Each structure stands twice: as C-alpha cells, then as structure tokens.
Structure 1
C-alpha cells in the first residue's frame, strides 16, 4: 500500500512539473525528471534512488536529494553528477548544493570537473553555471594531456578555456617542474603565464628562475622570463627579458644581459645577447663587457659587440670583440679596434691601432699578440711598426722600434725585448738615476734589450750597428724622439673606464626560491599537548602547599 501511494505521489509530482514546464519554458526552475521514491518533508521534498533533475541545459544526477521547491534549491547526496548538454562539461562529487535561481552548484568531497581533455580534482568547488566559471578554495589539481597543475585556490573560466591558479602553484610537465604563486593557464593552446617569483627545474637539472613573472608555451616549449636566470651545468644566462626555446636550445636576452661560461670562467655582459647552447656560441652587443676570471686576478674587456665560441676542439675556442675595445688587468691595460682571445693558449690578439700599457711602458704596433701563462703576462709578439716607449726615473722617454718584436715578462713587468728587422733604439743615459747625460741612438737589424724594474739595463746589438751619442745639451724635440713616436698614456683605460662603460650588476645567488621552501609546516605543540606528553612520561606537577 505504501509503495502504491509513493508511486502515485511521484506521478502526480511529475505531472505538476510538466504543467509548470509548459507554462514557463526556459525558466531557471529546478525540475524533477525522475526518482525511485519521492517523499514529502517539512519544507522540502525527498527524492530517493536514481534521481535526475534538470536546470535549463544542465542535467543533475545523484543517489538522493532534498528539493526546496519554494526557494528553487536542492541538496544532492551520493554520486552527484552535473552534465551540460551544450558544453562538454561534466562534474561529479560526493555531495553538492544547487541553486537553480543563479545556476550555482556548490560541490564538496571528491570533486571531479571534466572539460574534454582537461580535468580538475578538488574537494571544494563552486560552479557558476550562468557564467560558466568554476572556483576552488582548498587545494585543487588540474590535469590535461601535457601538464599537471596544483594550487591552493583556482578559477576555471570554461568558455574561454582559462584557469587562474593562486598560492603554492606547482606545474609538472614531462620535461620540467615549475613553482609560483600566481599562474594563468590557457588549456587551449596550453600556455602558462605567471606573475611575480617563478622557479623551474628541468628533468636534466637545469633551472629557470624569474623575479617578475614568465610566459610559457608548453607545446612549443618556448619560455619567456622577466628578470630571469637560466642555469645549466656549464652556463648561466640572465636578462631583464629572457627568451628560451627548448627545442632549439636557444636563448635571447634583452637588457642587463649576462652570459657565464663556467668551464672557461668567462662572463659576458651587454644590452642584447643571443646564445646557442648546442653550438656553445654566443653573441652579445650594446656596451658589451667581458670578465675573465683567474685565481688571483680578473681581466676586464669592453667592446661594442662580442662573439664567444666554445668547442670540443681546443683550437676552435675563441672570443671576438669589435670596436671600442678596452682591456684592464692588474698588470696590463690596452685598447684596440678589435680583439681575438683564444682560450686554448690564453693568447690575446689585437688589431687596428692597438696599444698596450704595462707598468710605465707603452707598446704599439699594427697588430700584437699577448700570451698569458699561469694567470700572468708571459710574452708579447708585435708585428709591423712595432714601437715601445718606457719612462725612466726622471721621466725621459726611452724608445725602441722595429718591424717585429718579441717581448718577455717576469712578475708582470717587461724583462726582455728582442727586435727583429729595421731596429732602432733611443735611450737616455743617467747618472745616479737623477741626471741625464744624453741619449744613445742606434740603428741595427736586430736589438736585444734587458730590463730591470721597467728600465733598460743592458742593450745588445746585431752585426754592424750604427749608433751615436747625443749629449744632453744637444737634445731637442726632433732628435729626442724616433719617427712615429706617440705617447698616449692619457688614453690608458682603468677600472673607472670599465665602470663608465658598464657597471656589472651582480646576481644574488641567495635570492628566494620556492623550491627551497619546506612543504611541511612545523607546528609548535600547544601547552595542553605538552602537558599530556609529560604525563605519559610519568611527570606529575608539584602541588603547592600554602601554610
């Protein structure tokens, strides 16, 4: 009898719903489509077993429901499913509350929100069917064909395929893992944009960090970082705007570019930089600067443009510098139009009006090559129109010139100079290093000079030298200088010259990194917990006795 009454009551309810549908097509009213049992209760109707309801184009399924007809709301229990008949959106949960007036579903416990290839998992989801937006508040996970993203809070705008993640965001991809606190992910075409601090680690262990956000195309594997750093086992690249194409292993940086070659201990700075990782080839231009690190010293070099090439073959490792070249080292300064630095033999070749200064000596020629061994100057080769000028203790200019020269250094100072071809020398003879007696001027095919403390100590000439002594009283501007003499010490670059060209901004290697923040929060025990633990260990508090 009871079952017959229930079936009669349920049929009557469906008839009532059908009549209301005829009278109010397209309304936001929640409709009961079917249920095994429908019972009346105080203020609501109970739907039990295989429940199906409808709200416009949304079908709602569950094991049982409480339907509040007056307010057009329902509470849904067990195996809740909400299916959109127009959009490919499907939602499931253990429990939900549905407001038909505003088309809002509040789903709780084991929530699964599916839109084609994208699935959202959470325990607390509000789904605004009117705006087609889903919100979660206490941890969620989004999975698609490429990525897995998790965060504390999120918003899924289904119509435009955009998901916004907030707080403790983690993106896991087959090739990398990324952490940030603010990320916008487009499910089509699978791009991710972050704001603020962003840290990424690739499966190879390379890191990509950005202080001011980033943009990723996860399918093309192209990344754009703002105030970003990319670090590998052999290199580190930084820029205010840094682009990286993982497929091409190509980097491009703009503003405050820094490229560090860890193996060569060479760091390059500039306004714009490009780096091809597989070729180990980089191009940097715009007030470019090089720092070559030695154990006890650092070599600085400026130029308009720089090209660096590393290679498995030693002879193919080099650094090219073009225009406005300046060199500064503790025992060396120089300038030229262009330069080649060969890594394999630590040689520096300078071209087009090069000039170098060492202590009180000035060296110039059409081209020159310096060799550095054990971090100090070892020798220099000067080719065509070679000219050396040194100052003695009373600032006279001792001069040597020739077609070619080979100079040798000891403890960073010129120790010996060999002139080969059309040799000429003019050096002043001093008495007690304080009074000039005159100058020796000599022509010889070859000349060998020995130096001590930067001053000429001994001169050996080749066969049949032609020389003469010029007394002090007969010296004038013409005979006290060899042809081609040009003292350019005021052009000598120093560290002030380097920093006027570019002052390097050092990277903060201790900057905040989200991978370094412990995932487990350490909670201090309460006083009650401490007291209970002490009791377990046999401790009893002393009772205070008052007389």
Structure 2
C-alpha cells in the first residue's frame, strides 16, 4: 500500500473522530483543513505540503506547519498566508506563529499586511485578531493610494482605520515629504496628526515646520501647525496656530502671528492674521507691529490693524495702518491715526493729527507724506495747518507755519523748509550761537528757510513781507510763540514704546530640523567580513607554516 495514501487515510480518520464537544468549540480551536502529508513528532504534528488550517473566520495557508494540538497553536513555515473570510484582510510572511487561544499571529520576515487599499510591509508583526490590532517593530512601511509612511514602530488599529507611527516617521506623497517622531494616520480620510517636532518639505522646496505638532489632510492639502512656520522663497509666515490651504494659497494664524515679505524686507506682527500668497495680500490685527528692515537701520511701527498689498498684478503696492499709529527709526519718530506706506517710492503718508519728530525738529499738519531715500529721511510734504518747530543750540523754539510746507533733510536733519501760502515764521536771532538777541517774526505768502543745527541760517521771503523784531528784553510768553504752537515731545515714541506694545521674539533659524539628520546608517564590518574582503582582493597576509625545528628550539 502507498505510504502516502496510508498516512492520508490515517489523517482523515483522526480528523473525523473528533468528538461532538470539540466541534461545538471549533470557534476557538485551531483546525486542520488539509495537507499533503501528516507526520507525528514528539509533542506536535508535522503538516507538509499545501497546508490549510482554519481558525474562526480566518483561513491559514503555508508550505508546512508544526501543529501543537494540545496547546492550540501552530508554527507556520514558507509562503504563510492568513486570510480573513469576512473582512478584507490578508497577511503574508515567510514564517509565523499562530495561537488559537490568544488569537495572536506573530509573523516574521517579508510580512505583508493588506486591508483593502492599505498595505503594511515589515519583518516583525504581531496581529491580534481578537482586537483587530497589528503591531510592528524594527521598521515598517505603509502604502495606500496617496501616501507612503515609514517608521521604526507602529500600531494599526484596523477597526478604527487608524495607524500610529513611532520613531523616525517619514510620510511621502507626490507633493510633500514629512518627518516626525509621532504620527497618527487615518486611512479612510487620509489625514495625519503629529505630536511634537514636525518638518515638511514640498516638491517646490517650501518648508513647513511645527514645534508642537500638526494636522495634515493629505487629500485636501490642508495643514494646521502648532507653533508653526511656513517658508517659501518669497515669504515666511509664523503663528502659534497656523492654518494653510495649499489649493487656495491661503494662510490664517492665531496668536503671535508674523508675516515676512522677503523681497520688501517688511515683517508684520499681530494677534491674528490672514495671508493670500498669490495676491501677496495680508491682513493682521490685534496689537499689530511692522518692522521694515533697512541695511543699516530698522523702521518700527505699531497699529491696531495692518493691510499689506504687494501683488505683481497691481500697480499700487502699499501698506495700510489704522489707529494708534506710532513709528520710530534712528533719525525720526511719528504718531498718527492712520498711515499709508507706498512700497514703490518709499513714501509714508500720515493722516488725522500726525506729528513727526526728527532730531531737534517737530512737524505737524492735517496730513503729511515723507520720503525715505537710501535708508535716510529725504524730504517731507505737509498740507493744511502745517506747523514746524525746531530747537536751536540755546533750546529756543524756532517756529514756522503755513498752508503747505516742504522740508528737505540731509544726514537726518532738516536743512531747508519751503512755506507756500499764509506763511509765518518766528525765529530767534543769535549772536555766535551763544547769545539771544531777540525774535524775528515775519508774515509772507511764501518763505524759504535754511537751517544749520536747528538754527535759521538764511531766510528768503516773497513779495512785501511783513516783519517785526522784538529785542530780548521784551520777549515774553505771548511774543515767543505763534498761534497753534504745541511742543509735544512727551508723545514722541521710542523703542521702549514699541516694545511695550509688542516685543516679538526672534525666530531661531537654527532650530532642530529632522531633515538635517542624515538617513544613512553606517555599520562597521566584522573581522570576518574584513578578512573575506581582503581574500577576494588578494590582499590578505599569507600565513606560512612554522618550522618544527624552530619550534623545538624555542621550547627547549
């Protein structure tokens, strides 16, 4: 009789002789459906060739198996495949251990865990069928229709369609590459949530970083960063909570928002902010602050609300500021209710009771515009109720007023002043810059004044000026001031004023970034590997046999 037929018949008799009680418990008992050959061994049965086993709703296939019937477990060898009958889950590996009591499969080497469009690759996977949770360690890779994720360790909660990745996590899709150490990925909506440091680089080279985690919808291409920064070639946006919609090129930030226009070297801060990247249009409000960076200096300005427009398609490129305007620079300071900064000609327009200070001068009007050239104050134009006050070397207040004024500056100080319409001037006549002789008061439609260190050096007047000189002995409070005189130096803002409004912390451009950590792992070869390499290269030293006579002499 054929031994294979005999063994197969014995296997069938053994299988069909199981008691009814065993059949009633088959839901928890590991069963044998078929095998080409069955052999007994000490403590277990060997199943050889086309093995098929069953446990609950799972079919188990392999080339061979060791079945520990008493312990209700099996060791599976070669082309292992575990297929769930009801759920779309299939697992393959080179080797596995399956425990029918705990319902845990331990799969090793070339493991592939597939759930519909999501596939997990690893060499070490524990799959608990009771909880439907698969745990991998020592590196794994998850692939779906959109993303590829790798990490050192991971937990796949199948019922929740959720995978938790731990340590050296990398998410790659056609548009972005993300690195972090703690990521939760939901396979159905294809969203990722990270905790702690998270770094992303787009295919265009944009950098998206978060110190305190992020949320990323990989299909909608929407991001939410916590303590996050998004940086492109043209801009840098930062906030404690930062939302970014890639399709709309739209940013929205909350708490400590800052937007840097790299081309203009203008940075805007505030409590809340919105930024449309394509339009280069930003809206920032709540204790807003502007820093305009020059090569040698920086202009600071505060406001309640800031609007910046810098689109290439618009002829007007500007910055608007509303309410509580205060600005300061090394050579000037100013206040106003509202302001317009024109990027094209570096002009700053102030409205509603603006006042500007420059070294020893103070100017005010209903509205004014001043121009910055080569990072220095170049000229200022004042309209309606224009009033200029300059302090000379003796701290006297020289005063000028008129319908319109134009002031010209050199090295940060006013050098010339042109008054056009209803001009009035009051200036102190000095002797050798040390002694006041009296006050000159002149009325003229047009006045041209030249200054040196705050003192009038030269004065030209229009047709038929009306002048009066008051000697020093007759100078009093009324004579020494023009109508409308108001020295408002106490309102002059400085850096302390700016810092009290908002003092931004500088961005740490050298902060930890996971993309700066090399991916290459260098492993030192063993001595055996070195020797084998040398032998292949014919570089290994040749060991000569020792001369027995020499050995004898040495021994004696």
Same fold by TM (over 0.5)? yes
Deviation at 1:529, TM superposition (A): 8.7
Structure 2 CA distance, aligned partners of 1:528 and 1:331?
74
1:204 aligns with 2:204: yes
> Which residue does the alignment assign to 1:31?
31
> Which residue does the alignment assign to 2:7?
6
1:456 counterpart SS class: strand
How do residues 277-426 of structure 1 correspond to structure 2 at under 5 angstroms? 277-312=277-312, 315-426=315-426
* 1:75-120 Cα shifts (integer Å, max 9, x gaps): 1111111111222111111110000000000011111101111110
Structure 1 CA distance, aligned partners of 2:393 and 2:210?
56
TM-score when normalising by structure 1: 0.95
> Which residue does the alignment assign to 2:114?
114
Q: Decide whether the 8 Å contact of 1:17 with 1:31 is kept in 2.
A: no
> Which residue does the alignment assign to 2:189?
189
1:166 aligns with 2:183: no
Structure 1 gaps of 5+ residues are: none
Structure 1 CA distance, aligned partners of 2:420 and 2:454?
21
How do residues 140-151 of structure 1 correspond to structure 2 at under 5 angstroms? 140-151=140-151
Distance 1:18 1:456, change over 3 A: farther
Structure 2 CA distance, aligned partners of 1:311 and 1:413?
35
Structure 2 CA distance, aligned partners of 1:119 and 1:10?
37
Structure 1 CA distance, aligned partners of 2:404 and 2:541?
94
Distance 1:530 1:101, change over 3 A: closer
* 1:286-333 Cα shifts (integer Å, max 9, x gaps): 111111111111111111111111022573210011111111111111
Structure 2 CA distance, aligned partners of 1:112 and 1:59?
16
Deviation at 1:534, TM superposition (A): 11
> Which residue does the alignment assign to 1:216?
216
How do residues 428-467 of structure 1 correspond to structure 2 at under 5 angstroms? 428-467=428-467
Structure 2 gaps of 5+ residues are: 544-553
How do residues 499-514 of structure 1 correspond to structure 2 at under 5 angstroms? 499-514=499-514
* Number of aligned residue pairs: 540
Distance 1:12 1:20, change over 3 A: farther
Structure 2 CA distance, aligned partners of 1:534 and 1:47?
45
Structure 1 CA distance, aligned partners of 2:222 and 2:114?
27
* 1:442-478 Cα shifts (integer Å, max 9, x gaps): 1100000001123211111000011101122222222
> Which residue does the alignment assign to 1:16?
17
Structure 1 CA distance, aligned partners of 2:363 and 2:528?
82
* 1:392-411 Cα shifts (integer Å, max 9, x gaps): 11111110000001111111
> Which residue does the alignment assign to 2:273?
273
2:498 counterpart SS class: helix
Deviation at 1:22, TM superposition (A): 3.0
* 1:424-448 Cα shifts (integer Å, max 9, x gaps): 0000111222222211111100000
1:160 counterpart SS class: coil
2:500 counterpart SS class: helix
> Which residue does the alignment assign to 1:100?
100
Deviation at 1:423, TM superposition (A): 0.3
Structure 1 CA distance, aligned partners of 2:247 and 2:22?
57
Q: Decide whether the 8 Å contact of 1:414 with 1:451 is kept in 2.
A: yes
2:17 counterpart SS class: helix
2:497 counterpart SS class: helix
Structure 2 CA distance, aligned partners of 1:18 and 1:108?
34
> Which residue does the alignment assign to 2:481?
481
Structure 2 CA distance, aligned partners of 1:18 and 1:51?
23
Structure 1 CA distance, aligned partners of 2:428 and 2:150?
80
Distance 1:343 1:118, change over 3 A: same
Structure 1 CA distance, aligned partners of 2:528 and 2:432?
91
Distance 1:79 1:19, change over 3 A: farther
Q: Decide whether the 8 Å contact of 2:531 with 2:540 is kept in 1.
A: no
TM-score when normalising by structure 2: 0.94
How do residues 27-106 of structure 1 correspond to structure 2 at under 5 angstroms? 28-106=28-106
> Which residue does the alignment assign to 2:548?
none
Distance 1:236 1:539, change over 3 A: farther
